[in-house]
Every structure is written in structure tokens, then in C-alpha cells.
Amino acid sequence: MDVILAQINDLHGFLPTRGTFMLDFVFVAMIAMIPVMAWSIGLVRYRRRYELHKRVQVGLALILLVAVLLFEIDVRFFTDWEALAAASPYYQADTWCPVWIALVVHLLFAVPTPFLWAFVIAQALRRFPRPAAPSAYSRLHIVRARVAAAGMLLTAVTGWIFYWLAFVA
Ligand code: HEM
């Protein structure tokens, strides 16, 4: 596993930025995530395709779980992101600067959102009928799931801002 990740990193990123392969991959995955999630919510809202909505949401969560795990291993053990950000006019080591502020704001959303998703999915799987359909749990799911979806959207937007400040500017 370590060797594979180290080799992936040697490939450099595939975007014309200072990002590594994994940073670019997560950046693009977060962009792709938003329209898929919007489509999945539209499936229940306008077309009553509840079972398909369930599968898409569980699928998205699994893909994100793998991406986030690989990403975490990468930035913790292989990539010195601060060295990559050093060329940015918005970065200064060891002091508050736009890059650090953007990272903290991003983490405020990025850390709780996966837990919220796990909770929303576990409860939905337990409390909706099979195949998935509206039930007495609908009201609570709609409130919780909207918060979870907003958390994901804000994680993505704040992540893009951080990526731009650190690795593009
Ligand atoms: C984190 C994952 C999920 C998110 C973000 C999510 C998001 C949403 C949202 C925003 C709505 C409301 C749409 C509206 O405004 O009318 C909704 C409805 C619904 N979701 Fe999910 N969902 C998730 C997972 C699931 C799962 C795993 C299931 C099934 C086990 C499920 C079943 C349903 C059903 C049946 C409805 C329709 C409720 C009704 O209108 O009575 N969802 N979902």
C-alpha cells in the first residue's frame, strides 16, 4: 500500500497546478460529487425514484470514504503540502495567513460532514422500508439529510478555495 501511494505521488498532479495526484484527484472528485448529489435529490423530489436515490447516496458515500482514506494517508505520510504552498503569495509558514485560515474553515466542514453522512445513511437504512419509500421517518430524514447535503456542499466549496489559494495562486 505504501509503495503504491508513493508511486502515485511520483506521477505529480494531472492538473496544471502545484497539486499532487491525490490533491488533484480529491479536488476533481469533490467537483463531480455536487451534480451527482443534486441529481440524486432531484430523483426523490421530482421523480419519486426512492430506491435509486438510496443506491446513489450509499454509492457516493462509499466512493468518498475510499477517496478520503487515501487522501488522508497521502497528506499525512507522503506529501508535504506546505512545501507545495510555499510559492503562493497567500501562504506564510507558522503564521496566520489566507491559506491557513482557508484550511481551518474547510476543516470545520470537512471533519463533521463524514460523521453526519454516516449517521444519516445508517438511520435511513434502518428506518425507511425496503425498498425505500416515504414513511413516518420522512420528515426527520429530510431535515437531517438537507443538513448533510449542505455540509458536503460547503466542504467542497471551502476545499476548492483552499486548493486555489495554496496550489494555484
Ligand atoms: C447522506 C445521504 C443522503 C442524503 C444527503 C439524502 C438527501 C435527501 C434529501 C435532501 C431529501 C429530501 C428531498 C426534498 O427536499 O424533497 C431526501 C429524501 C428521501 N431520501 Fe434521502 N438522502 C440520503 C440517504 C438516503 C438513504 C440511505 C435512503 C434510503 C434508505 C434515503 C431515502 C430517502 C427517501 C425515501 C426520501 C423521500 C422522503 C419523502 O419525501 O417522504 N435517503 N433525501
CA of 100 to the centre of ligand 1 (A): 35
For residue 80, give the C-alpha cell: 508535504
The answer to whether the beta carbons of residues 60 and 41 sit under 8 Å apart is no
Tell me the pLDDT tens digit for each residue of 57-89: 999 999 989 888 888 888 889 899 999 999 999
Binding site membership of 128 for ligand 1 (Cβ less than 6 Å): yes
Which one, of 50, 57, 60, lies nearest residue 130 by Cα?
Answer: 50
Tell me the pLDDT tens digit for each residue of 19-55: 999 999 999 999 999 999 999 999 999 999 999 999 9
Instruction: Return the SS3 of 152.
Output: helix
Q: What is the pTM of this model?
A: 0.90
